[in-house]
Structure 1
């Protein structure tokens, strides 16, 4: 990949005369990208910034959210996989609970009793909502 096609470097080079642009080597541009890359925020879907004053101190708070375009380290990839697995497990658990509740409500609406003289009270509560 040609470093001059990189969006950050291209934007950087467009702000200077063409004869100066041509004087940079690819190695110099790579080092410039590393140096200015940490300062580029880019555009985020959520970009919330404010300053909080506390007595004589001022603190800035930044909340950014958007698509991650960075390369993840091995440790970050591992943590990401664990959180994805946890998220999928929680969604599956929530979906299963909702499914079981719908099946239970359907069974109760049809008047089917699995255990004689036992009710969890969910059907009674649900009927009371619509009286």
Structure 2
């Protein structure tokens, strides 16, 4: 590669928006010290961010009195290695959600059985009613 092509490549890399954003945070002495090869690898590292792809990427701002606040909701598959604490929290949340789902399912099943019993006219405890059947009928 001749020196003219090398200078053109360096100029093209320096005009890249992602690299300009990165370079703006560096002192000028450091900015000028990068070779074309280093700049091209920096650009490759910035462009090839695998953590930037999310199933749900919802961002917005809210104005409250005199201030503006931003929020970001990101959802997607976790590809990171979890620490021991994160793994334990994940297991706890998974167990809690499973327990909530099972309790909800059992309660809905019991409600369905109660409504079926009431619809069939079966009275297990004479003179006692939860009032669910009367509410459901009306």
State the TM bucket, normalised to the shorter chain.
Answer: 0.5 to 0.7
- Following superposition, the deviation at residue 40 of structure 1 comes to 5.8
| Structure 1 residue runs of 4 or more that deviate by more than 6 Å after TM superposition | none
Partner of 1:103: 113
Cα distance in 1 for residues equivalent to 2:123 and 2:74: 52
Cα distance in 2 for residues equivalent to 1:45 and 1:67: 8
Residue of structure 2 aligned with 1:70, choices 35, 55, 80: 80
Partner of 1:12: none
Partner of 2:61: 51
- Please tell me the root mean square deviation across aligned C-alpha atoms, in Å: 2.7
- Following superposition, the deviation at residue 52 of structure 1 comes to 4.1
- Following superposition, the deviation at residue 60 of structure 1 comes to 3.0
Cα distance in 1 for residues equivalent to 2:62 and 2:50: 23
Partner of 1:83: 93
Cα distance in 2 for residues equivalent to 1:49 and 1:62: 4
- Change over 3 Å in CA distance of 1:102–1:52 after alignment to 2: closer
> What is the total number of aligned residue pairs between the two structures?
96
Cα distance in 2 for residues equivalent to 1:91 and 1:100: 14
Q: Which TM-score applies when normalising by structure 1?
A: 0.62
- Unaligned segments of structure 2, at least 5 residues: 1-36
- Of structures 1 and 2, the larger Rg is shown by 2
Cα distance in 1 for residues equivalent to 2:93 and 2:78: 15
Alignment deviations for residues 61-120 of structure 1 (CA, whole Å, 9 cap, x no partner):
211111111111000000000010000100000000000000001111111111001111
- Unaligned segments of structure 1, at least 5 residues: 1-19, 22-28
